[in-house]
Structure 1
Amino acid sequence: MATVSPTHYSALSRSQSRPPAPDSRCVVDRVGRTVGGYAAVVTALVHTILAFQRAHERPAHPQGPPAVTPPTVHSALLTGAPGAGKTHLARTLAVALDLPYRYVDATTVFHTNEGESERYLTELFTPPSPTPATGDRPGPFLVIVDHLDVLGGRSLRSELCRRVYSRLLGMWDAPPVATCPLFLIGITARPELLQPELLRPDRFGGALYPLALRTPLERLAVLRILGRSLPFDHEEPDKCQQEEETRGQASSPGIKILARVAELTHGFTPADLQNLCVTVIQAYLQRTVVVRRQSVPDVAVAGGIEPLSASLGELTLAEATGSSCNRSTLLLEDFTRALTVVQPAGMAEFRTRLPAVAFSDVYGLDDVVAQLTHSVVRPFHHRAVYRQLGLRPPAGVLLHGPSGVGKTMLCCALATATGVNCILAEATQLRSKYVGETERGLAQLFARARAMAPCLLIVEQLDVLAPVRGSARTTENTNERIVASFLTEMDGFHGRANDSGDDDGGGDVPVIVVATSNRPSQIDPALLRPGRLDQHINIPLPDPIQRTAILARLAERMPVVLTPAFQSRLVAATDGASGADLKNVFQEAALISLRQDIHHTAITEEHVQEALRARYPDF
């Protein structure tokens, strides 16, 4: 019979009783050296397990009563997307707490021989044998069960699965040695598939710990750990390490680069960030003279962040001479180039990295920018103030107007201004010809947004995804089903994400939906009522003043000089043109200049006039 993973024992004193539980701050610091981004979760877990450990400490006098009543919390469920670092956190926590632990992957529990799987679980939950260090009975120990949904999923079809699940509950509720305290840590990426019995308050119900990197600061904490061995500055090798230890203001070039990378990696898990660093290093090694002590191994996602540091530690950078190496340090452009090929594994079907556009890059829409700032940006950053005034942050915003007025550009600028995670999904991408696929895609989209909260969820061309019900009759009632699914997701979505908690961590953080459409009349009215898409912002075609501002900014960004008289004629001639139309005129003028002479470095008024005549012959 296969045996469980060997029990890991901590160093114990030679006395007949275990040493007292360590200080929580020391444990949190130990875990924080290799686990970044989850400070609140780590602190809560450490306090919970230490309270459990202290409650079961042996009294100074064997005949005396225990000093503390054992708490009811004797378990923890770590959830999160694949690659979030759940297994790495559980193992690191056990080592930092100085407790013996057993780890088992639930996929290895099932065996073909009769009764072998049940014996496997019994061995897993049996406490370690007493040693001279632990006295006549062992102290508390941890059991870590990875992929718990395999053992306790809702679909227990076979008799073997049902027997193993029953044995799991039995061993958990009544351990083989009643006098040996056991703390169970479950790990799953799909908590919604667990049996309801596992989520009872006396089991995992009150001990859920979701792992997600929600803010750039949390991603920076992970990148700091990953960046310890990255070649940012060879002249000052200890600077990044010193910054990591002090956790002070980012001042070194390496920390500044990592801080910018953290802002660009919305939706990335620790494994995704690790993959990004590996990709950067691989490109770096291709242009750098490297003396290899050993080849760089492929870093497995399940291995956490330590294998990366170990692998990079085996590399010695030789002094580059001549033209063999242009530079020996990493720059921000190395990461931005890698980000073009590395995407979040769990967000492959959606866009999470948008162009770096600021509100200052949006011309002639100052009123719209101010309205978006009050409706979206401030609720993200000052949610407590809104709640004190009895104001509920908007559930959603609809940007509507003709094509080319800058709706998508405003969404990109909005994502930059909020500084939170962002998902951009196009309705044409979500809608599928297969029955049920669109609803499944919507459920996944909203689930990802909840997991990445605080999050800005941008849905483009909403009229394609959620048209007025009854406008097109089909045997499958496709539109009706899609709209019903969208309404269900938005109602439950905002009930969980926006109505509970506060900025102090007492509850969930907000998620705001921003939808765009150039045909708002085609959207189902149920989506446009208050409580769903609250704010309706119309972006009309630019008026003469706005066109003047747009033309002035376009002229600043291109090698063209327009006289005031020509600019006035241009504004008057482009009545009814959108911002995209005006930009296209200047692009066409640049092409005309190049067609005349490839060495031209400027655009003249004649080029602009010729480009404009193609659209406005009377100009």
Structure 2
Amino acid sequence: MGYQRATDYEIAAAITIGIEAKDVIYKQSIQRRLWGRLVSQGDRYQWNLHGRSVVIHINRLAGNSKCMKVARDTTHFEFALMRSHWQRSQEDEKDLYVTSLTDMMRSSFENSEAYRKLGIPVAKSILIHGVSGVGKSRLVQCASDLLASIVYEISIHDLLAFNDEEYNAPEFINYNPFSLLLEKAKSNAPSALVIRHLDALLVGDKTSKILDIISKGLDSIEDTTPVCIVGLARNLRALPESLRKTDIFRQHMTLPIPTLPQRKALLHTFLKDLGLKPIRDTTHVLDDYATQISMRTSGYVARDLKLLVRQAKLKAMRSDRQSMDISDQLQQLSLSSSSCKIQMVWSDFEYALDTYRPSQRAEVESTLPKRDWDDMGGYATIKDRMTQAVLLPLLQPHVFTKLGIKPPSGLLLYGPSGCGKTALVQALVSESMMNVISIKGPEIFSKYLGETENKVRKLFATAKRIAPCIVFIDEMDAIGTKRGFDLGDSGSGGVNERVLSTLLNEMDGVEGRQGVVVIGCTNRPDQIDDALLRPGRLDQLVYVGLPSLEDRIDIIRTLLKKISTQGVDINDLASQTEFCSGADLENLFREAGTAALRKDLNAQYITPDDIASVIIPICERAENQILQGRLDMYEKFLHDHSL
């Protein structure tokens, strides 16, 4: 196709325009701006009309060409309201971060004279950093909409793609993707040039050349030109030191992970076009769904919430409830739109919550087997104490505020093996709906110098991001060993002390760890350094000892719910197993079942005779461990650390 002069373009007979505004009072102003322009279907324009930002879309052109000219006298205009692609609302305009960024950008656009009088350069650059999917790009778009400015985007990968020979070419400094896009932004001011993926910059010659290009581009923007450069990064610490130390980005903004009210507001947007079946008898169905989901999605960013809703939609479409063909529904489904009226029930979201793993938990082990309190027999007092220490500050924080005290920051569960310490934590996590990061003390150690301490720091950094969060450290004695314990090992290099020091610093919350609760489990509390047990760290010490008679009755009753037995006297069996732990009782029924199958492969029940054939060696083994002084250490620890 050859070159065609503007005068040769076909005149549009009619043009249909969609306006992202509350009314169409801007008809004449839009018509005047479009007269004489060459337009195509799908074009988007953004102008400041009568003091307000107005976005229009060319929805339809009447004619035979893809690109046509708008004539003053012959082109007929049709106008229609449409919803904003970015779904900017009054909540966006009131949002603290939108307001803050808007003020920063407006300052770089309009206050050049004020900067000149103060004798300081105009701040034409902003760095926004926040985790992936938190909404950095959307934030820039919302602020630009309020300022009626155009957004241009470029990825740092577009500059990294060139080789050294191209970088060294004399014309590259002026004719590269960034410089060319910056010139376009200047010619269409007011505008913002967004540089994405700054985290991809590494230390090296190529990075220094790219930073030099960006720096020279900034210097080329005159103070009176309403153009600003916005850099986006996921992690400020991941940026090269040369970028952090230089004055390229003069203003910084941190975009945190959404809080519970913010998640609820986002979910209102994502769920409002869905057909939701009430969870309970209420007229506020949308708010009920948003509240329930937001309480179970701490640590989720905006993208995670979109994908969660999408996964629930897919589950609903796979069910028999949907009459529409699944292929038709998939065509209507997208991440940025909820226009498909899918009939959904709460179980669809339960499925999505169970299967979707948010981005902030991708690099950590954040799951524990689900367990209900009812599956844990006995230990009622310990359950109440754990619930009060962990769940009460989350569900009713005002009771602590009223007394002017801080809630517990950590728990240490200690006691003999097999008494259910880990199972109690699993049930607590399932009950709390909090995020959890689970590690085993010995597994955190690395053979590389400094790597273990770095793992501990990353663990707590992740916990802070996804708070409220439980950090569960099993075998706590391995990571919190008393100082001086490894002095006799010349090959350890003092690694235990370095790890302990790092752990203490993180638990002290030097940068604040509100909403992070540390729970440790150990069967060797005497090996744990006393500094970990001070107030503000593991300040709640919970002894999980051998079950009492009442506890054993409850444990046996709970076990029998899942085991087929006949004629078993619970009270009598509990009295015969005085020194047995919960694990011993579970093993007793397992061995009795094996004995029943040895006698008859078609056995339907476990009988008292089957239990009697295995109970003596199990009880004797448990009793011998007690007689050997297994509990003496726990009694001494309890005495030394009791109030």
Would you say same fold, with TM above 0.5? yes
Can you list the C-alpha shifts for 1:272-305, whole angstroms capped at 9, x where unaligned? 56666666777777787975768969xxxxxxx9
Distance 1:352 1:142, change over 3 A: same
Is this contact kept in 1: 2:308–2:352, CA < 8 A?
no
- Please state whether the residue corresponding to 2:47 is helix, strand or coil: coil
Cα distance in 2 for partners of 1:74, 1:385 equals 47
Is this contact kept in 2: 1:446–1:489, CA < 8 A?
no
Q: Does 1:212 align with 2:257?
A: yes
Cα distance in 1 for partners of 2:502, 2:406 equals 20
Of residues 408, 413, 420, the one that matches 1:406 is: 420
Distance 1:306 1:332, change over 3 A: closer
* One-letter amino acid of the counterpart of residue 364, structure 2: F
Cα distance in 2 for partners of 1:416, 1:469 equals 35
Can you list the C-alpha shifts for 1:393-423, whole angstroms capped at 9, x where unaligned? 4442211111122211222233244443221
Instruction: Tell me by how many angstroms 1:460 deviates.
Output: 0.9
Can you list the C-alpha shifts for 1:218-276, whole angstroms capped at 9, x where unaligned? 666666666678xxxxxxx6457x99xxx984469xx75x8766666665555556666
Is this contact kept in 2: 1:497–1:511, CA < 8 A?
no
Is this contact kept in 2: 1:10–1:99, CA < 8 A?
no
Q: Determine the structure 2 residue equivalent to 1:554.
A: 559
Q: Does 1:80 align with 2:130?
A: yes
Q: Determine the structure 1 residue equivalent to 2:615.
A: 612
Q: Determine the structure 1 residue equivalent to 2:69.
A: none
Q: Determine the structure 1 residue equivalent to 2:392.
A: 378
Higher RCO (C-alpha under 8 Å, 6+ residues apart): 1
Q: Does 1:190 align with 2:235?
A: yes
Most deviating of 578-587 and 270-279: 270-279
Distance 1:408 1:31, change over 3 A: farther
More strand by share: 2
Stretches of structure 2 that go unaligned for 5 or more consecutive residues are 1-42, 55-82, 114-119, 624-643
Q: Determine the structure 2 residue equivalent to 1:567.
A: 570
Q: Does 1:471 align with 2:485?
A: yes
Q: Determine the structure 1 residue equivalent to 2:103.
A: 51
Instruction: Tell me by how many angstroms 1:101 deviates.
Output: 0.9
* One-letter amino acid of the counterpart of residue 567, structure 1: I
- Please state whether the residue corresponding to 1:176 is helix, strand or coil: coil
Instruction: Tell me by how many angstroms 1:40 deviates.
Output: 9.1
- Please state whether the residue corresponding to 2:231 is helix, strand or coil: strand
Instruction: Report the TM-score, using the length of structure 2 for normalisation.
Output: 0.67
Q: Does 1:544 align with 2:596?
A: no
- 1:415-426 equivalences under 5 Å are 415-426=429-440
Q: Does 1:365 align with 2:379?
A: yes
Q: Determine the structure 1 residue equivalent to 2:527.
A: 522
Instruction: Tell me by how many angstroms 1:471 deviates.
Output: 3.0
* One-letter amino acid of the counterpart of residue 573, structure 1: Q
Can you list the C-alpha shifts for 1:336-389, whole angstroms capped at 9, x where unaligned? 48945x544553453323344454554332332333334333333455654564
* One-letter amino acid of the counterpart of residue 519, structure 2: V
Cα distance in 1 for partners of 2:463, 2:479 equals 18
Cα distance in 2 for partners of 1:34, 1:574 equals 66
Instruction: Report the TM-score, using the length of structure 1 for normalisation.
Output: 0.69
Q: Determine the structure 2 residue equivalent to 1:161.
A: 207
Stretches of structure 1 that go unaligned for 5 or more consecutive residues are 1-7, 23-28, 64-69, 132-137, 230-236, 298-304, 318-327, 499-507
- Please state whether the residue corresponding to 1:533 is helix, strand or coil: coil
- Please state whether the residue corresponding to 2:364 is helix, strand or coil: coil
Q: Determine the structure 2 residue equivalent to 1:128.
A: 185
Is this contact kept in 2: 1:460–1:517, CA < 8 A?
yes
Is this contact kept in 1: 2:136–2:255, CA < 8 A?
no
Instruction: Tell me by how many angstroms 1:457 deviates.
Output: 0.9
Most deviating of 45-54 and 588-597: 588-597
Aligned length: 535
- The structure that has the greater radius of gyration is 2
Instruction: Tell me by how many angstroms 1:32 deviates.
Output: 8.1
Q: Determine the structure 2 residue equivalent to 1:149.
A: 199
Most deviating of 112-121 and 521-530: 112-121
Can you list the C-alpha shifts for 1:32-74, whole angstroms capped at 9, x where unaligned? 8499xxx899812221244356668889xxx9xxxxxx99987
Cα distance in 2 for partners of 1:41, 1:469 equals 54
* One-letter amino acid of the counterpart of residue 529, structure 1: R
Cα distance in 2 for partners of 1:41, 1:192 equals 30
* One-letter amino acid of the counterpart of residue 102, structure 1: Y
Distance 1:87 1:346, change over 3 A: same
Distance 1:429 1:40, change over 3 A: farther
Cα distance in 2 for partners of 1:184, 1:55 equals 13
- Please state whether the residue corresponding to 1:457 is helix, strand or coil: strand
